[in-house]
Structure 1
Amino acid sequence: MKKKMVELTALSMSAVLLAGCGVTTIHDEALKAAKENAQKEEAAEIDKKELVDIPLVDDSFSDCTESNVSNDLVRWLLATTAVEVQGQGLDWQQIGGTKSTAEDIETVKKYLNENNAKDGDAALEAASALVEEDYTKAYERAYNLGTAESILAASYCAGDLEFNQYLMHAVPVAKMIQQEFDSFDDYGDNYVTGYMCHVGQGDCGDASRVGYRVVLQQAFVGMAAYYDGAYAIDYDMELTGEAYSTYFDEMPEEVDTKSLEGKAPEFVQGYIAPIELGENPASGNIEIDGDLYHVPFTIKQLTDNGWEIKDAPSELDVNRDDTIKLTRNRKTIKVTTEAISEGYTDVQYGFVDYIDTATLGDVEVSLPGDIKSGMDMEDAKDVIDKFEIENDDMTDSVLLYISDDSDNKSKICITEEDGKVSSFVLFVSVLNGQQNMDQYYTTLKEDGSNYSYAQAMTIKAKTDKYRPGAEYTGIPELALSDSLDDFTIQIDNTVIQLPTTYQQLLELGFIFDDSADTIVQPDEQFEFSGYYLGNEYSKMNFIVINNGEEEAKLGDIPVQYVRATIFGFNEYQDYPFKIAQGVEFEATLDDLQEKYGTLTKSDNSFDNGYVQLDYYTYETEKGWYTFWVQPEGMYSGVEINVYTNKKTEE
């Protein structure tokens, strides 16, 4: 899609040169023809590919479970739904966006209802219908396939489909996406374009929802998401249950951000223009002098369409709105713009989220539904009523509230004069929850601190076991022991035994900031921490000790220590941790001593700022436990250490 944008820009500039010679009509016709040709070429691209017929159901996944399927295969599927899932305010890293027990499962169920997929059978029917629907343009196909993937993922998330059912239907759709589009960038751009077209016709959403998905797509293809974003995986990877990604194999520890200086930011390169104006005024689409835009856009989108900056400050200010004068074909317009952050003060990157037709001069401007200056106000109101847009009639104007999001201030104000539309203002503020547009764009800034090499290596390590010849033993099936002497720990529904390994913890679901390649010097200990399944309430700390005479990698040293506590941000109900005999946090000191015998109270204690914690210890020749106990006797934390060398007396 971005390649086409470059070609279109070149054609547009050729047309400008013609206009400079005074050939007005040639400019208009050349620009119009250039756009139409680019759109036709893009629409035809998908038909040029030699497509292999892919059955809608793949029975080879019928016996698959969450534990025996490649993490990379699941990540590939997550990438196909990332824009839509995150666009609903959910988490793209979870299939369907959340867990079935989470509060926001209602959002998932609402999405399923909107797509006539109220149960598993209906979801499969809806997905199949989308996949088999006729199409003529790439963006129609991307939208249908992406929606099918999102419905299947949401249905699994809601518990309407089993995991194997989800894979049996989602993998074939993913293979269609893979063979029909060139990259996640290409597929995602087309998906958002398709979504924009549906909103333009009033099928779903509004300008803010379109804008949010545009920003997300730009974020996912931006360099800031290079190490661990939704698209950080091989696009051409074989989609099998044993798939493994080579994406991270040659990844540098530090990105060369200097080489990116002067590069147009992704939110400018990745801008997605409407294909059609549509009928829904709340879509955010607008036509200015024959060109289509989706608000918000930047000044560069105007210059790409042949407008030339004639009057502007040397640079923009984040705390000030500036008026930019542009000319094209002897016409002049004025646009209000602002810098979205200190990093983007170049005038061409000026952010336009407010269009006032009164300042655009002698050019024709239309909203969807062909709302324009001079039309009967009653006809404009008929368009508004058709799409059930919230409408406040005033004495000489109509104020429309675009979004149904209570945090969103997007609106259209249409002024009336003698029963006719005089002028209108379109303002689109892309908000989701408490975060707004400039915060999303700031995440795209090419700053080395945005790149998490350790996180990338953690993702890589989780699926190394699927590589040919990989030596992987997996997590042995253990039962939680009744004796502390066995050093078994249950995390969620899996039991491990100390000493364990970095790899086992990854397989268990931990996410670490320190990679397996981190070097630990001889005779030194190294402490690292991780969140279980990314849950901020389930943070645990681990320690390795390099007992060798040479430096070693963190992933090669036995993990002998774990610390878990329900203090800080931790909450017990979200903390899946048990020790011998199934003892959980919030047991009492009496419970502990009844099960394990008398514990020794330490002379040491710990004040965490909220409460004084007493330490009670249990020691054996193999290692030790330290229990953290609150004054009223509640068990609230534990440190467990098993010796990994023969120097137990130390």
Structure 2
Amino acid sequence: MKNLFKKVFVIVLASLVLVACANNDKKVADLSDDIYDFTISIEGDVFKLPMTIADLETAGWKTSDRLTEKIAPNEYSSSIAFRKDGKKEIRVGIDNLSQNTIEAKDGFVTRVYIDLESYKNNLAPDIMLSKGITGKSTQEAVIEAFGEPSYIYESDTAISLDYDMSDYSGGYEFWFSNYDKKGFVLTEISIYTRTLDEDQKGTLNNEVSKETPQIVKDYKKPTALGEDFREWRIKYGDNVYQLPTPVSTMIADGWILVSENDPVAAKDSKWGVKLRNGNQSISVNVTNYDENAQLVENTFVTEFEFDDYSSKIPFELAKGITPNSTVADVETAFGKGDFDDSDKSWVTLSYGDYGSSLRFIFDETGKMISMTLDYSPEFAN
């Protein structure tokens, strides 16, 4: 009877092993042979990038890391740790590919980092990529499977093989280290892609608000110029503005939005937006400072220009600077600026840095032919 029980036990155990092996073989078979399909097997489960947090959680991966962190459009949160059974660890990058600010948990996992040195504390998972590449593959095996790298970095202690899409929308990086001088071994793999399929695109939060955002409502239009250009005030035409200035405020003052009133993603900018007042047209940069996608009319103008050839909008800055002012007038008002007379046809006089600057151009006769007041802070205030 005991022998019969042992035989049954052995048969059942063998069956379970065969089923497990068959399931594992099926999962590995699910890996695409095209490396740019971006599939990866981690602890026997096959994932295809980009994927969702739910895909990881369904496979048993958990994190207590930063999933409520806010991510603006086209930004990403990097190096978020996930563990499985408290024993294996991967790190991922989460992208916001929508037009609105989201929490990390609602983004797409577009990057996976495998630290193979974690074998020292048994955290490195079993992984497999296309064409049979594993965490134990050699440099020669990677090149044989993936072909010649897009870029190779080599030093005495490290070698990096990069495989990138031509538009840099995805790729792989393999790091081999030789810190112990015993030969190069694979110590880190990263895989990334930001290319969504049509079904994934359909889940993006691209809704555009039709309500005027509070940040636009809070704008207080100044009634007078300040004492210094760094207050970012300008009398432009018949109105005084302070940068950044809501497009809707200018529309209320009689400007017509010539460009399409298209959506602008949260925390994003759009160049070349055209406005017209009478027979004068200007092309401006606008920024959406809200956390949700907004129409152009609910964004902020971040620069005003005068151009003697195309945009002859009369202006006045602090201390009476107008299109009739000279270099001497400007320097008397604002002090010595960065003066450049290297071109024989004109000279430039500049103050400040990119994103917070005032720039003049004068022709060889000393006549002002251009002025740009630019203030585009990270946050409107």
TM-score by length of 1: 0.24
Ranked by relative contact order (alpha carbons within 8 Å, sequence separation 6 or more), the top structure is 2
Q: Which has the larger strand fraction? A: 2
Q: Which has the larger helix fraction? A: 1
TM-score by length of 2: 0.39
